[in-house]
A = this chain, B = another copy of it.
């Protein structure tokens, strides 16, 4: 059985003692600082741990410390929050910690990390195949390189925003002489990895778990009409750079031990530098909710390229890592229609709208629409954990 916390109603909420995701919060105009979510509370870390790194307005100083420090911090928090042990010890810990537990509805949540570089990959075989079929109906769905390397590109780090930030509809060129608000505004449900430990230029990183602190859900908002017109020959630019939303909560990799599965079989076998040494597939169940209606349930375990491979590829040319680098999986899409991770796939480029309720259908997003990504994963002791959700509402452009 799983160890439990004394924090009221935390166990069973997806934010119990086996999860403890990290974020940045503020209250009443106080300075933003680090916290851990427990149930419907955020624990103010700096005073509880007597550690000024957590008084910073981003998790970066903590993330830079590395795996041993991450694990030790987690052990200390579990001890302080645990309901098990000698009654007097539990009572003493609770008395010391409880004053620093703040109800979530009293805080503002901020971007948890000062993002250094943001890279977006393209790791789902089904997503890449669907997009290929839509845009090149007469050609091979996958480009010739797709099965040989995880395709990726750099996105705009400065427009990564925290869940809840309104998303103004982007404007731009949609064709020769054609300018206006995006008419095909889309989402991409993704999982993003947050780098803690940096590397030097020209060096190679160690294993994933030595560098990556944790994961967060990410919505890669996409303006399909702007993207289609601009994308050849240098790739996506303004079709993506207007906004990317992430959850306020970073789930430590350590909390995902029970979610680890073998990565999906790969053919051809990848080159040596891309070989998997540990199972870094992740059994994370994702849900896409549009105005309250669940429109898709992609499974992250279906992804073709795993995060250890993304990290190895991103750095094989000698590129360095910085604390705060974020790399995302690309759209998570499964084989079945109800597992597709973007509207362009779900509606087959708008031709087959999804139904939200009687008489209410969507091809692409309308002003006022709210999209929420949610996810859960197996946690220790059979208790599932809930990743922090990411949500955004479209404003008129």
Number of copies of this kind of chain in the complex:
2
Contact in complex: B154, A237 (CB < 8 Å): yes
The interface stretch among A31-39, A45-53, A170-178 is A170-178
Contact in complex: A158, B319 (CB < 8 Å): yes
Contact in complex: B201, A153 (CB < 8 Å): no
Per-residue B-contact encoding for A331-344, CB less than 8 Å = 1, 0 else: 00000000000000
A325 CB contacts on chain B under 8 angstroms: 158
A158 and B314 alpha carbons, distance in the complex (Å)? 12
Contact in complex: B232, A234 (CB < 8 Å): no
A317 and B173 alpha carbons, distance in the complex (Å)? 9
Contact in complex: B171, A317 (CB < 8 Å): yes
A143 and B223 alpha carbons, distance in the complex (Å)? 20
Q: Does A69 contact B (CB under 8 A)?
A: no
A183 to chain B, nearest CB (A): 13
- Which B residue sits closest to A118, measured CB to CB? B154
Q: Which of B148, B153, B157, B234 contacts A117 (CB 8 A)?
A: B157
Per-residue B-contact encoding for A132-172, CB less than 8 Å = 1, 0 else: 00000000000111001101111111110100010010111
A194 and B268 alpha carbons, distance in the complex (Å)? 44
A231 CB contacts on chain B under 8 angstroms: 233, 235
Within 295-336 of A, Cβ neighbours of B (below 8 Å) are at 313-314, 316-322, 325
A314 and B242 alpha carbons, distance in the complex (Å)? 10
Contact in complex: A242, B171 (CB < 8 Å): no
A161 CB contacts on chain B under 8 angstroms: 201
A116 CB contacts on chain B under 8 angstroms: 157-158
Residue tally, chain A, CB below 8 Å to B: 62
Contact in complex: A233, B235 (CB < 8 Å): yes
A172 and B317 alpha carbons, distance in the complex (Å)? 6
> Which among A234, A314, A317, A321 has the highest number of chain B CB atoms within 10 Å?
A317
Contact in complex: A236, B238 (CB < 8 Å): no
A165 and B318 alpha carbons, distance in the complex (Å)? 14
A20 to chain B, nearest CB (A): 29
Contact in complex: B232, A143 (CB < 8 Å): yes
> Which among A119, A234, A322, A397 has the highest number of chain B CB atoms within 10 Å?
A234
With A173-B149, A235-B233 as known contacts, state yes or no: A156 contacts B271, CB within 8 Å: no
Q: Does A202 contact B (CB under 8 A)?
A: yes
- Which B residue sits closest to A128, measured CB to CB? B233
Contact in complex: A156, B117 (CB < 8 Å): yes
> Which among A151, A235, A268, A273 has the highest number of chain B CB atoms within 10 Å?
A235
A320 to chain B, nearest CB (A): 6
